[in-house]
Amino acid sequence: MDNLDLTVLRQVAAWLAQDRRVVLGTITRTWGSAPRPVGSVVAVCDDGQIAGSVSGGCIEDDLIAKVREGALNLQQPQLLRYGVGAEEATRFGLPCGGTLELLLEPLNPLSSQIEPLLARLALGERVQRVLDRRSGEVQLLAPQAGADILVLTEAQLITHHGPQWRLLIIGAGQMTQYLASMALGLDYQVLICDPREEYAQGFDVPGARLTREMPDDTVTAFAPDGHSAIVALTHDPKLDDLALMEALASPAFYVGAIGSRVNQAKRKARLQEHFGLSEEQLARLHGPVGLNIGARTPPEIALAILAHMTAERYGVKLRSSASGASGGSGCVV
């Protein structure tokens, strides 16, 4: 769930606290290009107010009209499809021939579990919300291992909420302040590792967690998966290499390290000689880390790193010359 949809849930909670009738719509399937991804939500209040979006506005207008006509006075969850044919697709702002499916859920202040869900999200937890399509009752569970994929069956709708992507940063320096803060804004769950007293003392990024464990132990405990990124920023081979030897052998979608191209070559030689990493594993290392956008200052380099991570998340292929924000004149090593 992204920040837009979290805002919707907060508005829903406010409406329910005012004893308003509210319908929550969740995109369960799309065919063709769609304005919002599966799992996105929209909420409609009984007076026609709306929060969130699932299209360019036409579907939202239709939902508002249905509320005002009393057509959405639902007793239990109901599936609704838009844009089955070319004419409807055009009317509802979808690409010609596209289709979008919503599960409309009438909310109840108690059984819908909106307030408990928000409370757990405020703690940074990841939560699985299980809706019974017959009764409308909701259970909040800890997510199972694996990808956070929306599941729709005849009996249930299972959605996942909270940070789905995780970032582990090695080093609690100035650049980490910017990288961690920006990553939190992109819905990453952020963990920072630095066993050095002089760096960890007094370091604080609201919303991120700091551990003083050694980097290799931290990576192991972090248990990286395909939704995880690990970035080493200490400039200290004794720390960065410990993290990278574990990270490069993991399924993490992004592993990067700050430093010049010369130092990256030395790093790879050390990792191969002392830790036995293969050429294939070493090829996964993004170093110099980040996109080459001419970044010089810590916030600019943090931006370049997150831009590169975003490209990797979505499978965008970049030219080989595009990487290396930390290898230019802005790098101190």
Mean pLDDT of 34-50: 87
> What are the pLDDT digits (tens) for 182-221?
999 888 989 999 999 999 888 999 989 999 999 999 999 9
Q: How confident is the model at residue 37 (pLDDT cuts 50, 70, 90)?
A: confident
Residue-level pLDDT at 331: 40
What span, in angstroms and rounded, lies between the C-alpha atoms of 309 and 139?
A: 33
Sheet order of strands, 254-257 included: 209-211, 188-193, 165-170, 228-232, 254-257, 285-286
What span, in angstroms and rounded, lies between the C-alpha atoms of 99 and 150?
A: 17
> What are the pLDDT digits (tens) for 251-294?
999 999 999 999 999 999 999 988 889 999 999 999 999 999 99
Which residues fall within 8 angstroms of residue 224, CB to CB, at 6 or more apart?
166, 168, 230, 247, 250, 251, 252
What span, in angstroms and rounded, lies between the C-alpha atoms of 273 and 259?
A: 19
Say if residues 287 and 257 touch (Cβ distance below 8 Å). yes
SS3 for 244?
helix
DSSP for 139-207, please give it: EEEPPPSS----EE-SSEEEEEES--EEEEEE--SHHHHHHHHHHHHTTEEEEEE---HHHHTT---TT
Residue ranges and CATH numbers for the domains of the chain are 3-116 (no CATH), 165-327 (3.40.50.720)
What span, in angstroms and rounded, lies between the C-alpha atoms of 146 and 289?
A: 27
What span, in angstroms and rounded, lies between the C-alpha atoms of 193 and 170?
A: 5
pTM of the model: 0.62
